[in-house]
Amino acid sequence: MKRSITLALLLLLIVGVLAGCGRKKEATPEAVSPEAGLPASAMEIASSRGLSPEDINAALKTYMPSGKWDEYIMFASGGHSGQVLAIGLPSMRILKNIAVFTPEAWQGYGFGAKDIEEMLDAGNVDGRKIRMGDTHHPALSETEGDYDGQFLFINDKANARTAVIDLRDFETKQILKDPNIISNHGSTFVTPNTEYVIQGTQYATPLGWEYAPISEYQEKYRGVITLWKFDRDKGRLDPEQSFSIEVPPYWQDLCDAGKLVSNGWAFCNSINTEMATGGIEKGNPPFEAGVSQRDMDYLHIFNWQRAEEAYKAGKTEEINGMPVIRMDTAVAEGILYFAPEPKSPHGVDVTPDGKYIVAAGKLDPQVTIYSMEKIEKAIADQNWEPDPFGLPVLNFDAVNHAQVELGLGPLHTQFDNQGFAYTSLFLDSAIAKWKVGGDNPEDWVLVEKLPVQYNVGHIAAAEGDTVDPDGTYLVALNKWAVDRFAPVGPLLPQNLQLLDLTGDKLQVIYDMAMGVGEPHYAQIIKADKIQAWNTYPEVGWDPIAQAPSPYATKPGEEKIVRDGNNVEIFMTSVRSHLTPEHVEIKEGDHVTWHITNIETAHDATHGFQLGGYNISLSIEPGETVSFEIDADKSGTYAFYCTEFCSALHLEMMGYLLVEP
């Protein structure tokens, strides 16, 4: 509704201005000037639609004239859709839905394309084909603690996997399975120069998810924090240079890497230091009660640089092919410390200057702030008590710097460039704005609270977790939408709300219904930091290898090659034909089929579907894609281009003739 108001209002404004200055073909319409004010027609629309001055402001702040580009791109997790969404800000237009862990037919992802199938299969578990996922926390690659616009990482909580997306083409390039854990959560978070992508376990299991009765929870169940080494030149995580740190079965939660003064350190929360094992059906306290008994859980503080040294010095044990720093080594090498943190901690976020670490406990109305300086002093002073595993728990008062009471259910914190922090309040359904103070704990105070609709989980601010936040926009990723949109049945869209951070007061300026879910974290980058390709660099490109494909086919060189029962097809696509158009094979043939889109024009993508064979491809300009089929039954099939690429697109087809 608001969107159509925005459009109507702005259309009228533009039409009014155009009418005044005379229409020229390529002239940009003149902007309204403050002296002239809004045209009377705009005021009429506003009053007939009952728009308040705030509504008009919001509309003007978010409307993007046709052809103009958004200032920011937000990468939002698509949750258990297994995808990542790229959304333009401030318009909140969905630009792309990037397939990651789940098949997606439009992008030709997981419907035959051979190297995509191989990549998806690399994420299989115990030989089982896994084609679902639960994406939570996207992380943009960073250089010196700032987004560099090159790569995006995303975790799959359900299967403990990590994926790499290349932002030259916004496509997934790699999926990696952690060999020791079955679910992750504190991932993905990058170190300031993307040396490593951090991944923490969520639910503890015996390593390698082997069987062990739950009665052996304390002895046998464990978590790990894995440091996946990133090879920027290859654009891949390198398992050969990656390692894990063993941690107690405390259910590690979100993480964040230190920066500037805290560079080298990283922080992960935990929620089940009770080591509760549930069993409501056996008369035991259910997990929800068992996990929330203690007043304090442990913030995990680990030094990834020291861990890297220990790994390189061979102080690891290989478990399921992964080098693991065991807990006793972590203690001996000064790698891992704990700090108590109140009441079911969830989010942990490092301030832009790297000096403070903000933890939010879901059942505590305040955020708890630790100072890196105090943590380092407590470590130097050995101001700690051991936990049941012998790991040092730092004295809370020695490391706690301040606490700020914000409201009910604080979860996640982001930052602006004016010295303020923003924390989502799940139970209050609000965003709290508070002052990031300095040495004096009294200076850390709540400034303002704004209701959002409803049950906000994560929030993302423009460049809001870098060393240099922008302070322009913040998006509340709400868990419930309830009454915000026209009814679409019992499964509701997610409600992403855009907030303007630049005014005297916080204001919600856009409600975006996101038709997939459930989004968790998002990151918002200045759009001009991303240098995406318009077309692939060369005709005959393999996007997974990001190199010329050995199966590239030039026009005039299309062919069908037979070798016994193996048939290889080299096909080209260009407006408006596929060559060859007759693919004549025999029942029982195994077919390897390569298609090269020989177009070099911007946006000249050809799709390809072969009905009856579950094949769906998207072949972008310059791309070569391969797939294989077994022609096990004679018949006549049609294949065709699925993108309406030209006036004669319907004619862009061919027949697969399988002779008995």
Instruction: Name the site residues for ligand CUA (rule: CB under 6 A).
Output: 606, 641, 643-645, 649, 652
When the beta carbons of 252 and 605 are compared against ligand CUA, the nearer one is 605
| CA pair distance 189, 345, nearest whole angstrom | 18
Contact characters 181-220, ligand RUQ, x per CB under 6 A: ----x-----------------------------------
Token pair belonging to 595: 């298609």
Q: Return the one option of ligand RUQ, ligand CUA, none that residue 606 interacts with (CB less than 5 to 8 A, by type).
A: ligand CUA
For residue 362, state whether it binds ligand RUQ (rule: CB under 6 A).
no
CA distances to 339, 365, 433, 558 from 273, in Å? 12, 20, 30, 63
Q: Return the one option of ligand CUA, ligand RUQ, none that residue 458 interacts with (CB less than 5 to 8 A, by type).
A: ligand RUQ
When the beta carbons of 137 and 606 are compared against ligand CUA, the nearer one is 606
When the beta carbons of 346 and 401 are compared against ligand RUQ, the nearer one is 346
Residue 639 Cβ, how far from ligand CUA at the closest point, in Å?
12
Residue 561 Cβ, how far from ligand CUA at the closest point, in Å?
24
Q: Return the one option of ligand CUA, ligand RUQ, none that residue 524 interacts with (CB less than 5 to 8 A, by type).
A: none
Residue 640 Cβ, how far from ligand CUA at the closest point, in Å?
8
**Which residue type does 135 have?**
T
When the beta carbons of 57 and 646 are compared against ligand CUA, the nearer one is 646
Applying CB under 6 A, the site for ligand RUQ has a residue count of 9
**CB-based contacts of 106: which residues, under 8 Å, 6+ apart?**
607, 616, 618
Contact with ligand RUQ (CB under 6 A): which of 161, 168, 346, 362? 346
Q: Return the one option of ligand CUA, ligand RUQ, none that residue 643 interacts with (CB less than 5 to 8 A, by type).
A: ligand CUA
- What proportions of the chain, in percent to the nearest 5, are helix, strand and coil? 15, 40, 40
Q: Return the one option of ligand CUA, ligand RUQ, none that residue 69 interacts with (CB less than 5 to 8 A, by type).
A: none
When the beta carbons of 91 and 187 are compared against ligand RUQ, the nearer one is 187
For residue 268, state whether it binds ligand RUQ (rule: CB under 6 A).
no
When the beta carbons of 272 and 572 are compared against ligand CUA, the nearer one is 572
When the beta carbons of 465 and 623 are compared against ligand RUQ, the nearer one is 465
Q: Return the one option of ligand CUA, ligand RUQ, none that residue 457 interacts with (CB less than 5 to 8 A, by type).
A: ligand RUQ
When the beta carbons of 177 and 458 are compared against ligand RUQ, the nearer one is 458
One-character DSSP codes across 371-426:
EHHHHHHHHHTT-EEE-TTS-EEE-HHHHEEEEEE--S-EEEEEE-SSSEEEEEET
**CB-based contacts of 322: which residues, under 8 Å, 6+ apart?**
178, 179, 180, 226, 239, 242, 243, 244
Q: Return the one option of ligand CUA, ligand RUQ, none that residue 649 interacts with (CB less than 5 to 8 A, by type).
A: ligand CUA
Residue 575 Cβ, how far from ligand CUA at the closest point, in Å?
6
Q: Return the one option of ligand RUQ, ligand CUA, none that residue 327 interacts with (CB less than 5 to 8 A, by type).
A: none
Q: Return the one option of ligand RUQ, ligand CUA, none that residue 229 interacts with (CB less than 5 to 8 A, by type).
A: none
When the beta carbons of 255 and 402 are compared against ligand RUQ, the nearer one is 255
When the beta carbons of 323 and 654 are compared against ligand CUA, the nearer one is 654
When the beta carbons of 49 and 649 are compared against ligand CUA, the nearer one is 649
Contact with ligand RUQ (CB under 6 A): which of 342, 410, 457, 621? 457
3-state secondary structure 236-289: EEEEEEEEEEEECCCCEEEEEECCHHHCCEEEEEECCCCCCCCCHHHCCCCHHH
Residue 172 Cβ, how far from ligand RUQ at the closest point, in Å?
19
Peptide bond into 580 cis (omega under 30): yes
Contact with ligand RUQ (CB under 6 A): which of 520, 544, 596, 652? 520
For residue 136, state whether it binds ligand RUQ (rule: CB under 6 A).
yes
Q: Return the one option of ligand RUQ, ligand CUA, none that residue 594 interacts with (CB less than 5 to 8 A, by type).
A: none
3-state secondary structure 302-368: EEHHHHHHHHHCCCCEEECCEEEECHHHHHHCCCEEEEEEECCEEEEEECCCCCEEEEEECCCCEEE
For residue 606, state whether it binds ligand RUQ (rule: CB under 6 A).
no
Beta strand pairing status for 236-247 and 322-325? parallel
Residue 603 Cβ, how far from ligand CUA at the closest point, in Å?
12
Residues 79 and 519 sit within 8 Å (Cβ to Cβ): yes
**CB-based contacts of 526: which residues, under 8 Å, 6+ apart?**
71, 72, 147, 462, 463, 470
Residue 76 Cβ, how far from ligand RUQ at the closest point, in Å?
11
How far from each other are the two terminal CA atoms of the chain, in whole angstroms? 58
For residue 458, state whether it binds ligand RUQ (rule: CB under 6 A).
yes
Of the candidates 42, 40, 41, 16, the one whose C-alpha atom is nearest the C-alpha of residue 30 is 16
For residue 80, state whether it binds ligand RUQ (rule: CB under 6 A).
no
For residue 411, state whether it binds ligand RUQ (rule: CB under 6 A).
yes
| CA pair distance 611, 657, nearest whole angstrom | 13
CA distances to 225, 256, 426 from 351, in Å? 22, 10, 21
When the beta carbons of 542 and 643 are compared against ligand CUA, the nearer one is 643
Q: Three-state SS for 602? A: coil
| CA pair distance 650, 52, nearest whole angstrom | 49
CA distances to 16, 17, 18, 68, 565 from 26, in Å? 17, 15, 12, 14, 59
**CB-based contacts of 348: which residues, under 8 Å, 6+ apart?**
253, 254, 255, 256, 267, 268, 269, 299, 357, 358, 359, 360
Residue 217 Cβ, how far from ligand RUQ at the closest point, in Å?
23
- Give ∠ CA 462-456-138 in degrees, rounded to 5: 45
Q: Return the one option of ligand CUA, ligand RUQ, none that residue 259 interacts with (CB less than 5 to 8 A, by type).
A: none
When the beta carbons of 245 and 645 are compared against ligand CUA, the nearer one is 645
Beta strand pairing status for 624-631 and 589-597? antiparallel
Q: Return the one option of ligand RUQ, ligand CUA, none that residue 567 interacts with (CB less than 5 to 8 A, by type).
A: none
- Closest residue to ligand RUQ, judged by C-beta, is 457
**CB-based contacts of 188: which residues, under 8 Å, 6+ apart?**
137, 138, 139, 153, 154, 155, 162, 197, 198, 199
Q: Which residues bind ligand RUQ (CB under 6 A)?
A: 136-137, 185, 346, 411-412, 457-458, 520
